[in-house]
A = this chain, B = another copy of it.
């Protein structure tokens, strides 16, 4: 498993260089960032060199298609997808992710039909470039009732949806926070095959009742109450070998310099990896 960082948890980053070098400095092997933007800013060779010289790969890109809104928005975003996928592929990245809000103002069944068709098309385009699509189920209770109609938020529902989408390159983005807020345990991970997991997010939860854990109330790995040792060792046990990327969503920007936050992230990873019996 590759240790990874996203921008969420590092405060204000000034440049791609800073982000990638910080990741390398603190022992991370992957970063989640916009591959196409990186190439636009540095050229293809520059981007490759920046990553390679720091020994860092891109963990995953975000899906540049808004599939949750109007057909018009979907069509606008779809125009960007092939280029974004080609950019990711040119930098060796093979994963693209999106999250599923657990409720919606649209009629739930109808929205599920629309979203199934839209994500199938996205998966096909990504697949043409050797890229997999990871779907992130989102567990925090407050979001389940945030919009008028419940949608889906459980692991099983997401697996069933992946079956309905019906493309071989679709799997899970498995986030520790959503595993926790769904009150799942190691055995739920161990029931999976590794290829069902496209990408992993790691972060921790404050010591509040699970039903009160807010989506943007996350803390650094090892600083909260999630059984991250169990999370990581289960992933390792089933043979997952991809990135485990930190994503700290918080209401306010974290205090401190990016360097100090990256260092804090490393300390968190060290702690929970050790607890899991990994390197």
Q: A residues bordering B, Cβ < 8 Å?
A: 74-75, 78-79, 81-83, 86, 89, 107-114, 116-118, 120-121, 124-125, 127-129, 149-152, 157, 160-161, 163-164, 166-168, 193, 195, 239
Contact = CB atoms under 8 A, between A and B. Distances in A.
A277 to B, nearest CB: 20
Given A108-B109, A127-B121, A114 B82 contact: no
Contact of A152 (B74, B107, B149, B239): B107
Contacts of A239: 239
Given A117-B163, A121-B127, A163-B117, A149 B79 contact: no
A120 B124 contact: yes
B110 A157 contact: yes
Contact of A166 (B74, B81, B160, B168): B168
Contacts of A75: 82, 86, 89, 128-129
A125 B78 contact: yes
B166 A113 contact: no
Contacts of A167: 166, 168
B110 A113 contact: no
Given A109-B108, A150-B107, A128 B78 contact: yes
A108 B195 contact: no
The residue among A110, A125, A127, A167 with the most chain B CB atoms within 10 A of its own CB is A110
Contacts of A151: 109
A261 to B, nearest CB: 35
A65 to B, nearest CB: 10
Given A112-B112, A127-B163, A193-B195, 4 more contacts: A109-B157, A110-B152, A120-B164, A239-B239
Contact of A164 (B116, B157, B160): B116
Contacts of A118: 128
Contact of A160 (B83, B113, B127): B113
A44 to B, nearest CB: 14
Contacts of A114: 160, 164
Nearest to A169: B168
Contact of A82 (B82, B117, B157): B82
